Structure 1
Amino acid sequence: MSRYQRMMSITLQCQRFHNAAGCLKSKTGTEHRWLERHLKDPFVKAAKQHNYRCRSAFKLLEIDDKHKVLRPGFSVIDCGAAPGAWSQVAVQRVNALGTDPNVPVGFVLGVDLLHISPLKGAVFLSNADITDPVTLKKIQELLPTEKADVILSDMAPNATGIRELDHQKLINLCFSLLDMSKSILRPSGTILCKFWDGREARLLQNRLLEHFPYVRTIKPQSSRKDSAEVYYLAKLYHDGVKCQKH
């Protein structure tokens, strides 16, 4: 179990017994600080108020409000989907439930190594490795037209605590997404992927620029200030020669 998963488990225990103060007393210093910050986080509180599965929903909402990544009728793949907050946002934004009869109905497919609880309007592949060719084949079978308009990725490997190693592991996952896009991302499609800032970030950016004329670095306001996470937004996919950044 990763440190993040352990911390979330602690948080759920505290919420279950409605005794966060008592739970805090029983934890180590690191756990105490993490949980105290988590319980005071305004985005955690907002997520509960709006019935989002976790605070990360607000990162995607913020990015989409500004950059218009999701549109009604789009087919979306949510990589690293658990617990499903980004899929919740995608279902709303692409009209996957057909709530608005005046716009096209979209499709949302979430994939994760972990179990993802069912969500109305989304299809989930739980316990599935996004880098496995078997998973890619399943994705192609499930997509309405075998191609997606948008690939979202908020996924991250279990942290080792070694910054450079963790950075490299996440960059490699992003490379896997880019390789996968050759099979399942339609022309002019979009990738939004999280990475941890570090020396390989420019290499990833250059690889994206080989297939996307528009690549932008985004740090959402809803991302914690002390977090190294950043996002690359790459638009207008094409499988051709390297193009210049706009």
Structure 2
Amino acid sequence: MWGFSVWRRCIHCSLSVMKKLKGKTAAEQRWVLRQLKDPYVKASHAQNFRCRSAFKLLEIDDKFRLLQPGYSVVDCGAAPGAWSQVAVERVNSAGTSRHGLPRGTVIGIDLLNIPPLDGAHFLSSHDVTHTATHAKLLELLPQDLAEMILLPRGSLLCKYWDGVLSHQLQEKLSSVFHSVRSIKPDASRKDSAERYFLARMYKKPVK
């Protein structure tokens, strides 16, 4: 009976995979197969994260402790919202902590639609480079942050693609942050040029 159950499950899985691959191009089929084999994709489904990228932020934050209860987070390019999910929990922006911890703020911005998330303010269909978006962002930030997005000693975590121009970005960040390091979390695929700059201790520009 056990053997029959496993055999039946294997057939079901094979049919499910064939259905997912039907009508797709060769490149799309490779992507689907990679997703099906990816342990972080499976874990994101099990833990109700919107996508596997949540584990990149979890890994980075576990190591560097960027997100603390009461902090304010602006998630640029937030769709579909997995990093915001992590941020909401760690800065306590939904106010769900039972230990009297301070409540933070999470704001997500993207050109795409971002499904609602308790504890986060999303600016969907907004361009982060537009002044109108800046004005809306300042309205949503706590009052003590209304005149400046990033406070002195604040941190920035940004994704970049490793290449000939990446050093220019690092030099730019180094001019306004005391510490800049390059990170490639384990959750980032090995064959990807994706990396992250972690910039800490923001220097307030002298006016």
Q: TM-score range by the shorter chain?
A: 0.7 to 0.9
- Structure 2: 5+ residue stretches without partners: 1-14
The yes-or-no answer on 1:232 pairing with 2:202 is: no
Separation of aligned partners in 2, 1:48 and 1:221:
18
The one-letter code of the counterpart of 2:164 is R
The one-letter code of the counterpart of 1:52 is F
Aligned pairs (5 A) from 1:24-63? 24-63=21-60
Q: TM-score, normalization: structure 2?
A: 0.88
Indicate the RMSD between aligned Cα atoms, in angstroms: 1.6
Count of residues in Structure 1 that have an aligned counterpart in Structure 2 = 191
Residues 62-94 of structure 1: CA deviation (Å, up to 9, x unaligned): 000001110000010001111110000000000
Separation of aligned partners in 2, 1:198 and 1:216:
16
The one-letter code of the counterpart of 2:202 is Y
The yes-or-no answer on 1:192 pairing with 2:189 is: no
Separation of aligned partners in 2, 1:145 and 1:239:
18
SS of equivalent residue, structure 2 residue 155: strand
**Do the aligned partners of 2:176 and 2:203 also contact (CA within 8 Å) in 1?**
yes
The residue that corresponds to 1:110 in the other structure is 108
The counterpart of 1:89, out of the listed 63, 86, 90, is: 86
Residues 99-141 of structure 1: CA deviation (Å, up to 9, x unaligned): 2242111110000000001000101000000111110111011
Separation of aligned partners in 1, 2:143 and 2:177:
22
The yes-or-no answer on 1:121 pairing with 2:86 is: no
**Do the aligned partners of 2:66 and 2:155 also contact (CA within 8 Å) in 1?**
yes
Dislocated runs of 4+, deviation >4 Å: none
**Do the aligned partners of 2:179 and 2:201 also contact (CA within 8 Å) in 1?**
yes
The one-letter code of the counterpart of 2:134 is L
Separation of aligned partners in 1, 2:144 and 2:193:
34
The one-letter code of the counterpart of 2:143 is T
The one-letter code of the counterpart of 1:36 is L
**Do the aligned partners of 1:146 and 1:184 also contact (CA within 8 Å) in 2?**
no
**Do the aligned partners of 1:77 and 1:110 also contact (CA within 8 Å) in 2?**
yes
**Max Rg structure:** 2
Deviation at 1:239, TM superposition (A): 2.6
The residue that corresponds to 1:99 in the other structure is 96
- Structure 1: 5+ residue stretches without partners: 1-17, 149-181, 242-246
SS of equivalent residue, structure 1 residue 234: strand
The residue that corresponds to 2:75 in the other structure is 78
Q: TM-score, normalization: structure 1?
A: 0.74
